Amino acid sequence: MGTLIEKEIRTGLSEQDYHKLYQVFECQNRKKIMQENYYFDTKDFDLRHHQLGLRIRLDDIQAEYTLKEPLSDKQKLETTDILSLDDAKEHLTHGTFPKKHVSQKLDQYHIYDTDLCQIGSLKNERYEINTLQGLWVLDKSHFPNGISYELEFEYIHSTKPFFDFLETHAIPFQDIPTKLARAVSKL
């Protein structure tokens, strides 16, 4: 289990800018990470009411059950339970959830596992680039209602390198909703 403060900023990208950054980051020489994200809430949207995000994410190696709680505009507290792929698939198939740290945090909001239901999903192609300033993430997300492209920057100290990078590469900043918000935008 891990708890960490996520400091992140992101911009939406055009398909053309995505391909441009694919070359800039030399993604053809990097490992493509394939992910599946499944998002949850109650039928009354209690998590949304508390500005919480809840997902199970599967990649090639493992799965994560993550709760995101807002701390500030660009910071979230993430609580994550690591799951095996088999356990995660079992939870997704049967609508059950691990009784670990995320579940305990949900209890504090009076939100219980038995009330949760899947509200959205996406498949994501991801490239990660670690630098001294932070982690750069180039994503191509496949939602049921279309494809989106984005660049995320999980910064250590400042968002300045992010905006400097966008300016250097003539990429306009496009404030976009979270993947969760985009996954459920048809609701």
pLDDT tens per residue, range 145-164: 899 999 999 999 999 999 99
Burial class (CB in 10 A: 0-12, 13-18, 19+), 129: middle
Owning domain of residue 156: 2-183
Residue 187 has pLDDT above 50, yes or no: no
Q: Does pLDDT of 72 surpass 90?
A: no
Q: Which residues, in sequence order, are bridge partners of residue 143?
A: 146
Q: Look at 110-114, 134-138, 166-170 and tell me which has the smallest mean pLDDT.
A: 110-114
What pLDDT does 185 receive?
76
What are the distances in angstroms from CA 1 to CA 20, 53, 74?
36, 17, 23
pLDDT at 102: 95
Could you read off the pLDDT of 8-53 as tens digits, one per residue? 999 999 999 999 999 999 999 999 999 999 999 999 999 999 999 9
What pLDDT is stored for residue 186 in this prediction?
55
Say what the pTM is: 0.92
- Which residues contact residue 95 at a Cβ distance below 8 angstroms, ignoring those fewer than 6 apart? 116, 117, 118
3-state helix, strand, coil in the chain (%, to 5): 30, 45, 30
Please give the mean pLDDT across all residues of the chain: 94
Residue 99 pLDDT greater than 90, yes or no: no
Residue 50, domain CATH: 2.40.320.10
| List of residues 6+ apart from 66 with CB closer than 8 A | 53, 54, 55, 56, 57, 78, 79, 80, 81, 102
Predicted confidence at residue 1, as pLDDT, reads 60
Provide the domain count of the chain: 1
Mean pLDDT throughout 48-62?
95
